[in-house]
Amino acid sequence: MTVSKKSQVIRFLFDNHGVRGELAQIFDANDRLLENHNYSKPVCLLMRELAILGVCITSTLKLDGQIMLQIHGGKGDRAVKNAILNINRDLTFYGSCQTVDNNIYDDESTFRDLIGSGGYLHLAIFPKNGQSFQGIVELEAQNLSEAFEKYFSTSDQLPTRFFIFNDTDSNASAGIMLQIIPDVEGNTDSLEHLSILSQTLSVKESIELDVNEILSRLFAHEQVRVFEPTEVDFKCICSKERCLNSLATLSHAELEDIAADENGIEMTCHHCNRSYHLDQQSLKALLLTNSQ
């Protein structure tokens, strides 16, 4: 399948309905999210869906800060330990999935297998200014869309629908988010009507068509106001400085042992797998600073 390579999200409103929406397409950004990890297909799919949902949610909140989506796996021989995605204000994101040693992650694993028994979803909002917000919901749903719909229904009390489309031949994904606008008459009926229309979109259309063309086809008989699209990208925040900062949290004895190695150490970011070499001089300087 030939697809565009522009990862983006677009916001839209309906003049005749109390509903707002987001439409996201992620192509190359998903490639970079996954390329340095040896994930099974189901785990890749889980991370792609986290990315689509995270981008749509962050875009609609228009937050000056960061949002974290985290899945905590429960019990089960196919359950993940956790899967995390962080999305910034500029809609750059990074994340990773940690698996459990000796668990089975083959291509037959389902969403329920990966979540396990007792798994839960953790959503945290970290504004640049003001208090952070955190919410947790048990992951009893059959898919990630249902889980987030439950979260918004119970936590924000804003009925919301998500539709995710995943290409099976690439890492390309698309998603639609529809959410009622509070205190608008008939908004619940409007959400149901627009959700039915959204379900008519095929995976092929969601990946191959331009975002504006998708909206024109889906809502041809509606009055839709479309805003300018915003680019989406993968961007890890790892750095040598962050590696040193993480070492600074160790005890003096632990840090002293590490600094004794004349070859220094290698540290690898578990989100993007980039490696950083910290030489002995840097480690001794850190040890000296922590001793003061």
* Cβ(162)–Cβ(182) below 8 Å: no
Residue-by-residue DSSP string for 147-199: HHHHHIIIII---EEEEEEE-SSSS-EEEEEEEEPTT-TTHHHHHHHHHHHHT
In a shared domain, residues 133 and 216 = yes
Domain end call among 218, 234, 250: 234
13 domain-assigned: no
In a shared domain, residues 100 and 114 = yes
In a shared domain, residues 220 and 257 = no
CATH number of the domain where residue 264 is located: 3.90.1280.10
Helix ranges, the chain (H): 28-34, 41-61, 111-115, 144-151, 187-198, 203-208, 211-218, 240-247, 252-259, 280-291
9 domain-assigned: no
28 domain-assigned: yes
In a shared domain, residues 214 and 287 = no
Token duo for residue 259: 């600094």
In a shared domain, residues 220 and 249 = no
3 domain-assigned: no
- What is the full per-residue pLDDT of the chain (292 aa) written as tens digits? 444 479 999 999 999 999 999 999 999 999 999 999 999 999 999 999 999 999 999 999 877 889 999 999 999 999 999 999 999 999 999 999 999 988 888 888 999 999 999 999 999 999 888 888 888 989 999 999 999 999 998 877 889 999 999 998 999 999 999 999 998 999 999 999 999 999 999 999 999 999 999 999 999 999 999 999 999 999 998 888 998 888 888 888 888 888 898 888 999 898 988 888 998 888 888 888 877 6
Distance from chain centroid for Cα 234: 10
165 domain-assigned: yes
112 domain-assigned: yes
Domain end call among 234, 250, 267: 234
What is the model's pTM?
Answer: 0.89
In a shared domain, residues 202 and 121 = yes
Domain end call among 202, 217, 234: 234
Token duo for residue 263: 């070859």
Instruction: Quote the CA–CA distance of 252 and 258 in Å, as a whole number.
Output: 10
Query: Alpha carbon of 279 to those of 111, 129, 253: distances in Å?
Result: 43, 37, 18
* Cβ(44)–Cβ(107) below 8 Å: no
In a shared domain, residues 169 and 28 = yes
3 by DSSP, 3-state: which? coil
Taking each helix axis from N to C end, the angle separating 252-259 and 280-291, rounded to the nearest 10 degrees, works out to 160
Phi-psi region of 177 (alpha: psi -120 to 50; beta: other; left: phi over 0): beta
14 domain-assigned: no
In a shared domain, residues 176 and 60 = yes
Quote the domain boundaries for residue 270: 240-291
Instruction: Quote the CA–CA distance of 109 and 121 in Å, as a whole number.
Output: 19
201 domain-assigned: yes
Question: Per the structure, how many domains does the chain have?
Answer: 2
In a shared domain, residues 251 and 169 = no
CATH number of the domain where residue 34 is located: 3.55.30.10
Query: How high is the pLDDT of residue 2?
Result: 45
Instruction: Quote the CA–CA distance of 211 and 216 in Å, as a whole number.
Output: 9
Within 13 Å of residue 128, how many CA atoms lie on the same side as its CB? Answer: 7
In a shared domain, residues 146 and 248 = no
Query: How high is the pLDDT of residue 292?
Result: 63
Query: How high is the pLDDT of residue 102?
Result: 84
Instruction: Quote the CA–CA distance of 38 and 92 in Å, as a whole number.
Output: 22
In a shared domain, residues 255 and 158 = no
In a shared domain, residues 109 and 144 = yes
